[in-house]
Amino acid sequence: MNRMPGKLSSRAAAHAIYTKGTFVLQSIKQLYGDKLGASDGEIGQVKDFYFDDQNWAVRYVVADTGSWLPGRQVLISPHAFGSLHQAGKVLRVNLTRKQIENSPPIESHKPVSRQYEEEYYRYYGWPFYWQGSALWGMSGFPILELPAKPLPGEPAAASGPQPKRADAHLRSTQAVNGYHLQASDGTIGHVCDFMMDDESWAIRQLVIKTGHRLSGREVQIPSSKVDRISWDESKVFVNLTKEAILQAPACDDASVGAAPKEAR
């Protein structure tokens, strides 16, 4: 996300870790409950994040709209955000309430299919993130510019060749939170947070609580070390030993201007 340089709010600074001037890592857990605002009014608050479990990019923010749009999920793509670090306590999106209300509906608790994603992206006029070799299709970052504004209820016309339809592989950060970590030599700790690159929206680190749930130590391990996620077993399998995880950098050891050392 190519954003203009500026100062972070005190709240945002408290929830972010700077790393070598290349990107900022944002705690996903600290974003739950933040208010969401359209260009013409509030739309609800952050309820969840859906990430792609193949390349660990957050694809949607799930909004809790309260009584405004009951019974349906409201998904907001990173394409709609100007920046995660905005003044005040409301995350603004470059959409109107009417655009969001008229977007393709999906019922609550229903999985997000690729067919739905195609309809969603055509409606807003955004490029398909699954079409291309980069993290966001043809780019490593979601587009910042204002999206095309189709007429209410009228989807934007598709452009270019139709992509091959495949499973979306989208998972909930809220659901994975609490999953046990399966090292190469046994189970150790559980997932308690995710650290996201604030420009590309890629999850770079998993925060793991080792030891007791209340008094354990929190460490960070790279998402690149994840081998697979087992939804049936509620486990995250990693290519690390238990000792390597125990020696991983603690969250409170990560200082401003220093990147967390990678577990090996």
Cα–Cα distance, 94 to 100 (Å, whole number) = 10
Please report the pLDDT score of residue 213 as a whole number: 63
Please report the pLDDT score of residue 72 as a whole number: 84
pLDDT higher than threshold 90 for residue 146:
no
DSSP 86: -
Domain with CATH 2.30.30.240 in the chain: 24-171, 173-253
* 40-49, 63-72, 156-165: range with lowest mean pLDDT: 156-165
pLDDT higher than threshold 70 for residue 229:
yes
CA distance to 34, 85, 104, 209, per residue, from 213 (Å): 25, 30, 40, 7
Greater confidence (263 vs 74) lies with 74
- What six digits make up the tokens of 231? 């939804």
Q: Which of 122, 102, 101, 229 is nearest to 170 (CA)?
A: 229
DSSP 251: G
* 2-11, 114-123, 212-221: range with lowest mean pLDDT: 2-11
Cβ(43)–Cβ(97) below 8 Å: yes
Q: Which of 9, 12, 20 is nearest to 255 (CA)?
A: 20
Q: What's the full length of the chain, in residues?
A: 264
Hey, is 69 helix, strand or coil? coil
Hey, is 29 helix, strand or coil? helix
Greater confidence (88 vs 90) lies with 90
Domain 173-253 has CATH 3.10.180.10: no
Beta-strand ranges (E) seen in 65-117 are 72-76, 90-92, 106-107
Please report the pLDDT score of residue 11 as a whole number: 39
Label residue 76 by pLDDT band (50, 70, 90). Answer: very high
pLDDT higher than threshold 50 for residue 166:
yes
**What architecture (CATH level 2) is domain 24-171?**
Roll (2.30)
Greatest alpha-carbon span in the chain: 57
Greater confidence (45 vs 151) lies with 45
pLDDT higher than threshold 70 for residue 263:
no
Average pLDDT, the chain: 81
**H or E stretch at 210:** strand 203-210
pLDDT higher than threshold 80 for residue 17:
no
pTM of the model: 0.81
Q: At residue 195, what are phi and psi to the nearest 5 degrees? A: -110, 120
